[in-house]
Amino acid sequence: MQWLKLEVDRLRDKGLYRRLRVFRTGQVPHAIVDGKEVLLLSSNNYLGLSEHPLVKKGAVGAVEAYGTGSGGSRLTTGTSELYASLEDALADFKRTERSLVFSTGYMANLACLTSLVGQGDVIFSDELNHASIVDGCKLSRAETRVYRHRDTEHLRDLLRNLRGNGRRLIVTDGVFSMDGDLAPLPEIVELGEEFDARVMVDDAHATGIFGERRSGTPEHFGVHDKIDVHVGTLSKAIGSIGGYVAGSSLLIEYLVNTARSFIFTTALPPPAIGAALAAISVIRVEDPAVKLWKNVGDYTALLKEGGLDVSSESQIIPIMIGGTDNTCLFSDRLFEQGVYASAIRPPSVPANMGRIRTALMATHTSEDVHTAAGVILEVAGERGLL
Ligand SMILES: Cc1ncc(COP(=O)(O)O)c(C=O)c1O
């Protein structure tokens, strides 16, 4: 296994070596990471719900009622009645006929892509879609045509030049995970109608945050009922773990019977479902996204006033750096100064597009937001980015 060492050394030489950072706290604004207290500016716990008392209570209550494990796959022994409640709540939240919960968002994407299209079919995929979509496209054995990021003219060309009568599926993230920008859903939906292609949206970073009822980007753009397949995760703003697909009853029935990432894995443990159920209720009653959006507005204004060129349409605000070494040095310096924001490098982003992915939480105080912006500007100044 000498080759393993060579490969690891190669990653280290290229600045692409990764190591795990250990948290002694939960995903809270003031976290202890690798033994040091830092301001957390990288978490996907956008609404702070993994620490919300009612969400914790939902998890604990589920353990007390149903135990810690699910005992089997969904189709054998793993579907507790809690699942039915969660799937009803999600369908209601997403305003679809039904929903289906998976063990992760990754598996929900694999399920849709491998079940809905196959050999002889064509997928149209944004070039910056999440890795789980990329992997789903590969596994599906459908032909995948990648269109330039958010470029609907390019998408139109690809659709127009298509021959054959296989199925067509356009797939896009709702909010792009590393750039924080939004897919142009109204135009994509129109193209889907014009060229008879189904539309699938992965709203992993938008559920609970975008739209009047916070159901996500399709609601935000007013095209909710034009999306054929809604995918999302329970592990980011929802504060738990799991993924879901929402859509027609027929879609869900089909996935239950065909999706390998649904059939051949153990169901989620009861606390994960109890937490997700409680989180959906908290989103409806307390709407923590209001505070998140206030933080986003304040933070971006402070960075811009300080001379940093940031642009984002969401709670994910990347600080673009470029090369891998510089990106890591920037992140290390932030950590020294008491802010934890991870360095994002290839393969998560293209070469020379390294960045610090900052993400705000509803639980950041105004003081936290000012501190975060101040430290980022200080380090950006030191590294000649202003
Ligand atoms: C856009 C997007 N889709 C899907 C996933 C996968 O979701 P999960 O973490 O629940 O597997 C992620 C993040 O991990 C993501 O950013």
pLDDT in tens, 313-327: 999 999 999 999 899
Find out whether 366 and 296 touch, Cβ atoms under 8 Å: no
Residue 361 CA to residue 316 CA, distance in Å, equals 10
The answer to whether 284 and 215 have CB atoms below 8 angstroms apart is no
Report pLDDT for 163: 84
pLDDT value at position 172? 98
Q: Which atom of ligand 1 is nearest to the CA of 106?
A: 11
Atom of ligand 1 nearest to the CA of 241: 10
pLDDT tens per residue, range 88-109? 999 999 999 999 999 999 999 9
> How far is 24 from 38, CA to CA, in rounded Å?
11
Query: Rounded mean pLDDT of 261-290?
Result: 98
* pLDDT at residue 17, as a whole number: 85
pLDDT higher than threshold 90 for residue 140: yes
Atom of ligand 1 nearest to the CA of 177: 16
Query: Does domain 53-285 sit in CATH 3.40.50.450?
Result: no
Q: Residue 25 carries which DSSP code?
A: S
- Examine the pLDDT at 154 and tell me if it is beyond 90: yes
Ligand 1 centroid, distance to 384 Cα (angstroms): 33
Alpha-carbon distance of 173 to 233, in angstroms, equals 12
pLDDT digits (tens, 9 = 90+) for 167-191: 999 999 999 999 999 999 999 999 9
Provide the angle, in degrees to the nearest 10, between the axes of the packed helices 270-286 and 53-66: 150
Q: Which of 106, 126, 201, 202 to mutate to test the pocket of ligand 1 (most atoms within 8 A of CB)?
A: 106
Q: What's the CA gap between 242 and 240, in Å, rounded?
A: 7
Q: What is the pLDDT of residue 19?
A: 86
Instruction: Indicate the burial class of 69 (C-beta count within 10 angstroms; 0-12, 13-18, 19 or more).
Output: middle
Which atom, in ligand 1's list, is nearest to the CA of 242? Answer: 10
Q: In what order do the strands lie in the sheet with 354-359?
A: 316-322, 354-359, 343-344
pLDDT at 230: 98
Ligand 1 environment, Cβ below 6 A: 104-106, 109, 130, 132, 173, 177, 202, 204-205, 233, 235, 243
In CATH, what class is 17-48+288-382? alpha beta
Tokens coding 346: 């290839």
Mutational test site, ligand 1, from 107, 176, 235, 357, max ligand atoms within 8 Å of CB: 235
pLDDT digit string (tens) for 20-79? 999 999 999 999 999 999 999 999 999 999 999 999 999 999 999 999 999 999 999 999
Spacing, Cα 232 to ligand 1 middle (Å): 8
- In SS3 terms, 111-176 reads as HHHHHHCCCCCEEEEECCCCHHHHHHHHHHCCEEEEECCCCHHHHHHHHHCCCCCCCEEEEEECEC
From 102, 130, 137, 357, mutation site for ligand 1 pocket: most ligand atoms within 8 A of C-beta: 130
Structure confidence at residue 18 (pLDDT): 85
Q: What letter represents residue 366's amino acid?
A: S
Query: Among residues of the chain, what percentage have pLDDT more than 90?
Result: 92
Report the predicted TM-score, pTM, of the whole model to 2 decimal places. 0.96
Residue ranges matching CATH 3.40.640.10 in the chain: 53-285
* CA dist list (Å): 204 to 225, 259, 386: 18, 19, 32
Angle (CA) 331-336-342 rounded to 5° is 25
Q: How far apart are the first and last CA of the chain?
A: 46
Domain with CATH 3.90.1150.10 in the chain: 17-48+288-382
Residue of the nearest CA to atom 7 in ligand 1? 105
For the record, the structure tokens of 69 come out as 């494990």
Note the pLDDT of residue 15: 79
Q: Which residue has the tokens 């932030």?
A: 334
Residue nearest to atom 12 of ligand 1 (CA): 204
Ligand 1 centroid to residue 271 C-alpha, Å: 20
